[in-house]
Amino acid sequence: MITLEPSTLNDRKRFYDWLVHPELVRYMMGPPLFPEIQIPSREEFYNDYEEYYFTGSNPELGRSYRILRDGECIGQIAYAMDLPKSKVAELDIWLSDPKECGQGFGTEALRILRKMLLKKFSLVELVIRPSARNQRAVRSYQKAGFQNTGMSPESANRIYGKGDYYDDVVLVLKKDRETCVKNPSQIALK
């Protein structure tokens, strides 16, 4: 059973360590697949994931959550709403270990967060932008109800702000599609 729980400042270092762990980082950044994406230093990560992500002090800007599987923290998922386009949140997710990948845990976490965000903030759209080179992530996000817009990274940068990859796949879930998504999550946010 997957649930989400608000993260705390104590999670910040752990989430960074997971992000840059050699077994996971190769799927998201750095050589050989992502030579254009530098692995961030802890300071760079802390600048991107400011304290409010972990304290809940500015939920209108963003928030990070622990992904729990049967009570054990196996990943992090976050949203940011400081985008050029209003009433839109961009999501980011990573798991703690490759053994947690490919089992539907991330997909379920996305379903839970999307349901909460669309209701709580009256958002009209959620976006997530993985690299086209990360096909496992693209498939997971599509299983969670996100649809590939076919939008170029350049167009997405104008609408949503700068993405991370030159080959961003722009996946969107619009509020009016939420009711059409197959198998919506029945698991409540903790």
Between the CA of residue 159 and those of 41, 63, 138, 146, 176, what are the distances in Å?
28, 21, 20, 17, 19
What is the pLDDT confidence band of residue 177, given thresholds at 50, 70 and 90?
A: low
- For residue 55, how far is the Cα from the chain centroid? 18
Q: What is the pLDDT of residue 187?
A: 34
Residue-wise pLDDT for 148-158, tens only, equals: 999 998 899 99
Q: 80 phi and psi, to 5 degrees?
A: -130, 135
Structure tokens at 188: 């409540």
Residue-wise pLDDT for 110-142, tens only, equals: 999 999 998 899 899 999 999 999 999 999 999
Q: What is the pLDDT of residue 178?
A: 55
Between the CA of residue 34 and those of 22, 98, 133, 163, 167, what are the distances in Å?
13, 18, 9, 14, 10
Give the strand pairing for 88-95 and 125-128. Answer: parallel
Residue-wise pLDDT for 27-66, tens only, equals: 899 988 999 999 999 999 999 999 999 999 999 999 999 9
- For residue 139, how far is the Cα from the chain centroid? 14
Which architecture does CATH list for 2-178?
Answer: 3-Layer(aba) Sandwich (3.40)
What is the pLDDT confidence band of residue 180, given thresholds at 50, 70 and 90?
A: very low
Residue-wise pLDDT for 70-117, tens only, equals: 999 999 999 999 877 889 999 999 999 989 988 999 999 999 999 999
Report helix, strand and coil shares of the chain as percent, to nearest 5.
35, 25, 40
- The DSSP call for residue 133 is T
Q: Name the pTM for this structure.
A: 0.89
Average pLDDT of span 154-180: 85
What share of the chain in percent tops pLDDT 90?
Answer: 76
What is the pLDDT confidence band of residue 185, given thresholds at 50, 70 and 90?
A: very low
Give the separation between CA 141 and CA 107, rounded to whole angstroms: 6
Domains of the chain, by residue range, sit at 2-178
